[in-house]
Amino acid sequence: MSDILITADELAELVVRSPDTLRILDVRWRLDRPDGRPEYLAGHIPGAVYVDLDHELAEHGVPADGRHPLPSTGRLQAAARRWGIDPGDTVVVYDDLKSLSAARAWWLLTDAGLPDVRILDGSLRAWTSSGRPLEEGAVVAEPGSVVLRSGFLPRLTIDQAAALPTDGVLIDVRAEERYRGDTEPIDPRAGHVPGAVNLPTTANVASDGRFLDAAALRAQFSGVGVDQGAPVGVYCGSGVTASHAFVALTLAGFTPQLYPGSWSQWSNHPDRPVAIGSQPGALAPAGKE
Nearest to 8 by CA among 127, 96, 131, 125: 127
Q: Would you say the C-alpha torsion 67, 72, 78, 81 has a positive or negative sign?
A: positive
Confidence of residue 280 (pLDDT cuts 50, 70, 90): low
Q: Where are the beta strands (DSSP E) in the chain?
A: 5-6, 22-26, 49-50, 90-94, 117-120, 169-172, 197-198, 232-235, 257-258
Q: Would you say the C-alpha torsion 218, 261, 170, 198 has a positive or negative sign?
A: positive
pLDDT in tens, 232-243: 999 999 999 999
In the sheet with 22-26, reading across from the earlier edge strand, the strands are: 5-6, 117-120, 90-94, 22-26, 49-50
What share of the chain in percent tops pLDDT 70? 96
For residue 198, the model assigns a pLDDT of 97
| Whole-angstrom distance, CA of residue 171 vs CA of residue 174 | 9
CB 66 within 8 A of CB 265: yes
Say whether 236 is catalytic. Answer: yes
pLDDT in tens, 154-163: 999 999 999 9
Q: What is the mean pLDDT of residues 67-72?
A: 96
What is the reported pTM? 0.94
| Whole-angstrom distance, CA of residue 24 vs CA of residue 162 | 37
For residue 282, the model assigns a pLDDT of 59
For residue 288, the model assigns a pLDDT of 42
Q: Which of 112, 162, 226, 236 is catalytic?
A: 236
| Whole-angstrom distance, CA of residue 24 vs CA of residue 116 | 12
For residue 1, the model assigns a pLDDT of 52
Q: What is the mean pLDDT of residues 117-145?
A: 97
Q: What spatial distance separates the first Cα and last Cα of the chain, rounded to whole Å?
A: 46
Q: Which residue segments constitute the domains of the chain, with CATH numbers given? A: 5-129 (3.40.250.10), 158-266 (3.40.250.10)
Over 70: is that where the pLDDT of 88 sits? yes
pLDDT in tens, 176-225: 999 999 999 999 999 999 999 999 999 999 999 999 999 999 999 999 99
